[in-house]
Amino acid sequence: MAAEDIRRYGVAGDPVSHSLSPRIHNAAYAALGLNADYQRLPIPPPLFAETVKALPRSGFSGINVTIPHKRAALELADTATAAAKEIGAANTLSFRHGKIAADNTDAPGMLAALEVDPAGMTALVLGAGGTARAAIWALKNAGATIHVWNRTARRAELLAEEFGVRPAGDPGDVPRPEIIVNTTAVGMDHAATEESACVDLRLILSALEDQTIIVDFVYRAGGSPLTRAARSRGLRTVEGEELLVRQAALSFEIWFERAAPLNAMRSALD
């Protein structure tokens, strides 16, 4: 493949300057000797649809999509997998033969990173956006009992009704949750502390069972404020960086139709 035929990929979001996805994907391309490049694509919501439709003409073969575009990505696509349709959000778009195809790798990526079978477990999902939808769908289909909480109670109620799960008026109302998944942006601000994150999410970690697993889609060097607080309590955590690597690997496999170099992608974050 000539230099001018490089395959281009990226991550679209607003904001997206913090994204580690370019490091992860470009490490995969280097490990396998692929003539491809991955970049950040800051796109405000009003420009999302027209910008994405123009990307194939600039040599793009696909993109990942993050906050706040995951639902818009699904609506924009010409075709979508059954999972993306059921979730109601997409984080992976592929540009092929003049069409846009949508998929969601957040859901299977989270289950892979969890490394336990959630069947029969009680899960609390914090948030009501596109990532929350993927987490609820994945855990429900895996056999967990789901409660969903959001700072705007009505959003949690509507999401719970849509997915046939239970709304929580407060995280403390959920009895003995075994898995807690944070899909909100709490902790993304570098001024956030372990204490402020727990306060904002209304979590009292000391009240949780020792076996509770804390999953946080927010990623920070050394862990998010929430996962750092959880680790200090001796709770098991699934870090945002591992979730990012897992969903990135699945997106890679969609685009290149080959196994992703998972170790090289993880090493890019060291």
CB-based contact 136:129 (threshold 8 Å): no
Residue of 53, 70, 99, 140 marked active site: 70
Buried b (16+ CB within 10 A) or exposed e, 153-187: eebbbebbeebebbbbeebeebeebbbbbbbbbbb
| Backbone angles phi and psi of 142, in degrees to 5 | -85, -5
Residue 176, by phi and psi: left (phi above 0), alpha (psi -120 to 50) or beta?
A: left
Whether the upstream peptide bond of residue 46 has omega within 30° of 0, thus cis, is no
Bridge partners (DSSP) listed for residue 38: 9
Active site residue 70: yes
Q: What are phi and psi for residue 74, nearest 5 degrees?
A: -65, -45
Catalytic residues: 70
